[in-house]
Amino acid sequence: MSGASANSHETKISRQRVSPRGLSLRVLLAVSFAGLISLSALVSGGILTWQNFQGERETAIHSLAFRTETTAKEISTLMAEMIATMRTTSHFLHDGAVGGEHVSHAMTHILGQFKGLQTASVLNASGREVAKVSRIVTTNELTFVDYKDTPLWSVVQKGKTYLGSVSISKDTSAPVVFVAVPIRGNVGQFKGAIVGELSLRFLWSALSKLQLGAGHSAYVIDHNGRVLGHSLLVQVLRGIQLDEALTKDIFSERSAYTARETVNFDDQNVLLVSVVLDEYDWAAIYEIPVTEAYLPAFRSAVISAIVMLVSAFVAAVIGVVIAKHLTRPLQHLSETASRIAEENFSSRLPNHGTLEIQSLSAAFAAMAARLEKVMNDLSEAKEKAERQSLQDGLTGLANRRRFDQYLGQEWHRAVRGQTNLSLILMDIDHFKLFNDHYGHNAGDECLKQVSSILSEVVGRGTDLVARYGGEEFVCVLPDTDSKGAALIAENLRSAVSSAAIAHETSKVAGYVTMSFGVATASPHGDMSGDKAIDTAPLALIDAADQALYKAKASGRNTVVVGDAD
């Protein structure tokens, strides 16, 4: 550090001691401790609040699921009783012909047993209604229907129970759901079917008997989303239908129950729980306003939030007290460290206080002792980095940057000493063919071997062998004339050839060879005019390059001497 810089630094320290600026360590630690402890309290309280909220939410969903399952069980029971009544009657009919007065009595019996059916009829084996009884329309006003070629007939012919979608009754013009069971003879032959028209008003009547809270709704839908029964009659009469995507979502989940938040028919945000009745392909649904469903959860969250904030405040106060207690010895240590900074690193720090303060004092003392060693290590590391920046990573020779520096350095030395300076530019013959044939890894090994040979032959400490680029190398020979440079180049060529590094694709020989271009400059004598330009370092490189070009043109594996003077 320069004297001016050191004086500026000392002045800054002195000013800071006289007129300190910014927050004190005590304040910073107090704020930090209070903030961290408060944050911990807030985070942990927030997590606890969220967990409580989720727990209350799950409780609300389970409660709603129980009600939905109750609704589903009620509907399933009603449907099972109705179908059981129809099947019992079909067994009664199978002994006689499907027709006659006793059949009408049987249908009247079905209507009496199950009030949900508004019409009951018997089909013969051809699908034609042969007997029909209605709770609403007189016999003379009834319309007898042929069910052949209908989905109902296709199902009952297979011996299965049919449960259709919402349709309009031809007799009452009211929305109904058709239910049918097959009639079979003693030996199992198909003899016809019993068809009942289930009134949607009856489903409403069944659902309206459920004990529902204010704003709660229970209803049943088919797989198309059509509302079959609703706890509110007005919703049944409206003929409402669920959104297609919501319906698909409900019937895609066949688990015990599913819960979701959605918007109902009246654009209210509700918590909807559904249970699919697989045997009928219906779904029972119970919905409740979201605000009511999550009210216990919201209350729990508010209570938890209040407890959390109080805990955070108490934690902040404790943090401030702890921070003040910790900063007292730290402040003393800071003052002592400032005195050391004003004097020298050999000043002794106090070794009393808590174990942490004593450790910190020892660390300060060790820091001063290690500073000189660190500076020395940094200097050595810098020198090593500089050496590596001037070295070729593959061959270990000097790189192009080092060559440029050294050539300029030796050129100026030759000018001052009025001595010769020679340059050898060399190139491995047909190295691209070597790489293509043996591969780039083998090419790298070849470059390493050639580099080692060149370094061994050029033995003077003042000579520099460098990798010029790719398969080209260069050698700087200070205080060497043209003959000496040519001799060294020939020694290099001979050494590379003698190594007999295999090169099967070479057009020169069956081993690796090199071509050499030699140029010598004498930066002394007449330095005026063009002569001075010709003897510049770049001209020396150009002359060696021209000589190398001639060596390649004359068959390679040879030495050609050029002239830079």
Radius of gyration (C-alpha) of the chain in whole angstroms: 52
Which position has the token pair 């004097």?
A: 343
Write the DSSP symbol of residue 552.
H
As a whole number of angstroms, the distance between CA 351 and CA 356 comes to: 10
Type and span of the H or E element at 408: helix 400-417
418: Cα within 13 Å, side-chain hemisphere: 4
Write the DSSP symbol of residue 508.
S
Nearest Cα neighbor of 287 from 264, 256, 318 is: 264
342 is catalytic: no
Nearest Cα neighbor of 202 from 165, 163, 229 is: 229
Q: SS3 of 99, please?
A: coil
Residue type, 508: V
Give the DSSP letter string of 109-157: HHHHH-TTEEEEEEE-TTSBEEEEEESSS-GGG----B-TTSHHHHHHH
CB 179 within 8 A of CB 82: yes
Q: Which of 56, 129, 410, 471 is catalytic?
A: 471
CB 254 within 8 A of CB 265: no
As a whole number of angstroms, the distance between CA 207 and CA 541 comes to: 104
Between the alpha carbon of residue 348 and those of residues 217, 337, 357, the distances in Å are 83, 9, 14
As a whole number of angstroms, the distance between CA 372 and CA 379 comes to: 11
Nearest Cα neighbor of 180 from 191, 171, 190, 193 is: 193
CB 67 within 8 A of CB 218: yes
Residue 563: φ, ψ to 5° = -140, 120
Q: Is the dihedral of CA 327, 333, 337, 338 positive or negative?
A: positive
- Cα dihedral: 234, 237, 238, 241 (round 10): 110
**Among the residues of 209-252, which ranges form H helices?**
233-237, 244-252
Q: Would you name the residues annotated as active-site residues?
A: 471
